[in-house]
């Protein structure tokens, strides 16, 4: 993993922490600046492909997961000068017995999910605090954590989406959590039109590929058959589903990012902009409004970003608005 810092060419002082917030808030000047990238450090340690990285809210820590069955927690130097003498050394999280697909990090703990069908919760210091075994089949693809509701959401190859509330005793370690009798699962839902898991599934089966929170009780869900859904979680359990689009004649959606009015004030009319990249090299952008709490697609357009290649990542630039 190579870490870079981007700063305006005309103002090298913007690389200092004191000016970081000011530069980030001045969106109009950001659009006109020329930028240059400064190498900060290289994070070396994984012995296989790296599937996902996640930054802490402060930007001081980074979590990475790999097919070497480990997760690693890195303290990332803020300035290039801090890393001139050595690259950071990671805390290694071992416990999964198969490839680790996804991760997320909060102020207090780290969540990882794996092909071994477990979701594991770790302390920031690397101690394993809890193991959640709820999914079946060929693994758990995605995880999300909502700090406001204190819930973990996992999505697996079994087409299920499960909502968990971690044990309140996590701070006392794994042994205390294992002694707690209650289950962490609040409820489980499945994407529409998918029968209960019977027998083995394969790469052509329908399952969840991507998850994004729109608000505390709303999710966008993208699938292997190219569907984009909006799921409204219900207090009594379950969810109300709305199918929004199917992209590129059913090509799998590989990546997704969300620009939401709930987290960033848009000037584009829609409440949410969802960008998805698929397995045939196409990018699709969908504008969604939520009048009367019902999500409605009011704009959608697609272009070819690559020729018949999977798009592995797509990202909104929030400081530049709808780009």
Task: Transcribe 40-89 into DSSP letters.
Answer: EEE----SS-EEEEEE-TTSSEEEEEETTSEEEEEE--SSGGGGSS----
146-160, 218-232, 260-274: range with lowest mean pLDDT: 260-274
What's the number of domains the chain is made of?
1
Residues 6+ apart with CB under 8 A from 277: 253, 254, 255, 256, 283, 284, 305, 310, 311, 312, 313, 314
Q: Where are the beta strands (DSSP E) in 216-318?
A: 218-223, 227-233, 239-246, 253-260, 272-278, 282-289, 296-304
The verdict on residue 12 lying in a domain is: yes
Q: Does 25 or 273 have the greater pLDDT score?
A: 273
Residue 93 CA to residue 54 CA, distance in Å, equals 15
Mean pLDDT of the 289-306 span? 88
Residue-wise pLDDT tens digits, 147-192: 888 889 999 888 889 988 887 655 555 555 554 545 566 778 888 8
pLDDT at 298 over 70: yes
Mean pLDDT of the 282-295 span? 87
Mean pLDDT of the 262-286 span? 79
The verdict on residue 88 lying in a domain is: no
pLDDT at 200 over 80: no
The verdict on residue 20 lying in a domain is: yes
The verdict on residue 22 lying in a domain is: yes
pLDDT at 197 over 50: no
Residue 126, SS3? Answer: coil
What is the pLDDT, as a whole number, of residue 82?
56
Q: What is the band of 126 on the pLDDT scale with cuts at 50, 70, 90?
A: very high
Residue 17, SS3? Answer: helix
DSSP code of 251?
A: P
What is the pLDDT, as a whole number, of residue 111?
97
What is the pLDDT, as a whole number, of residue 78?
72
Least Cα distance to 220 among 278, 259, 166, 266 occurs for 259
pLDDT at 202 over 50: yes
- Domain span at residue 19 reads 1-42
What is the pLDDT, as a whole number, of residue 270?
56
The verdict on residue 277 lying in a domain is: no
Give the number of residues written for the chain.
323
Cα Rg, the chain, nearest whole Å: 20
The verdict on residue 24 lying in a domain is: yes
Tokens of 228: 């984009």
Mean pLDDT of the 212-230 span? 91
DSSP string, 188-233: EEE-TT-PPP-S---TTS--EEEEEEEETTEEEEEETTSEEEEEEE
Least Cα distance to 61 among 9, 127, 110, 129 occurs for 110
Mean pLDDT of the 201-222 span? 86
The verdict on residue 201 lying in a domain is: no
Q: Does 311 or 183 have the greater pLDDT score?
A: 311
pLDDT at 301 over 70: yes
Residue-wise pLDDT tens digits, 33-83: 677 888 888 999 999 999 999 999 988 899 999 999 999 999 988 766 555
Q: Let me know: does 250 contact 224? Beta carbons within 8 Å.
A: no
141-145, 174-178, 256-260, 312-316: range with lowest mean pLDDT: 174-178
The verdict on residue 35 lying in a domain is: yes
pLDDT at 27 over 50: no
Residue 101 CA to residue 63 CA, distance in Å, equals 12
What is the pLDDT, as a whole number, of residue 184?
64
pLDDT at 198 over 60: no
């Amino acid at each position: 993993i190579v870490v870079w810092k981007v700063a305006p060419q005309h103002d090298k002082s913007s690389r200092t922490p004191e000016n970081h917030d000011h530069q980030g808030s001045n969106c109009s000047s950001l659009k006109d600046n020329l930028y240059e990238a400064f190498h900060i450090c290289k994070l070396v340690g994984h012995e296989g492909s790296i599937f996902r990285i996640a930054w802490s809210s402060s930007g001081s820590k980074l979590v990475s997961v790999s097919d070497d069955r480990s997760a690693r927690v890195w303290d990332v130097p803020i300035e290039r000068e801090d890393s001139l003498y050595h690259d950071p050394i990671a805390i290694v999280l071992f416990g999964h017995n198969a490839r680790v697909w996804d991760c997320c990090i909060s102020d207090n703990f780290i969540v990882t999910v794996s092909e071994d069908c477990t979701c594991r919760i770790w302390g920031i210091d690397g101690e394993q605090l809890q193991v959640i075994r709820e999914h079946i089949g060929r693994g758990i693809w995605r995880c999300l954590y909502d700090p406001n509701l204190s819930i973990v959401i996992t999505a697996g190859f079994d087409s299920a989406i499960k909502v968990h509330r971690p044990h309140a005793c996590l701070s006392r370690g794994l042994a205390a959590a294992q002694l707690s009798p209650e289950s962490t699962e609040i409820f489980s839902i499945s994407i529409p039109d998918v029968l209960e898991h019977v027998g083995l599934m394969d790469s052509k089966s329908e399952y969840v590929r991507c998850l994004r929170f729109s608000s505390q009780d709303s999710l966008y869900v993208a699938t292997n058959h190219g569907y984009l859904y909006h799921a409204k979680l219900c207090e009594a359990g379950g969810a109300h589903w709305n199918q929004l689009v199917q992209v590129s004649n059913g090509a799998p959606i590989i990546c997704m990012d969300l620009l939401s009015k709930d987290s960033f004030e848009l000037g584009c009319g829609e409440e949410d902009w969802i960008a998805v990249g698929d397995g045939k090299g196409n990018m699709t952008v969908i504008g969604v409004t939520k009048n009367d709490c019902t999500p409605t697609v009011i704009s959608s357009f697609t272009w070819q970003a690559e020729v018949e290649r999977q798009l592995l990542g797509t990202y909104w630039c929030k400081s530049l608005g709808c780009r």
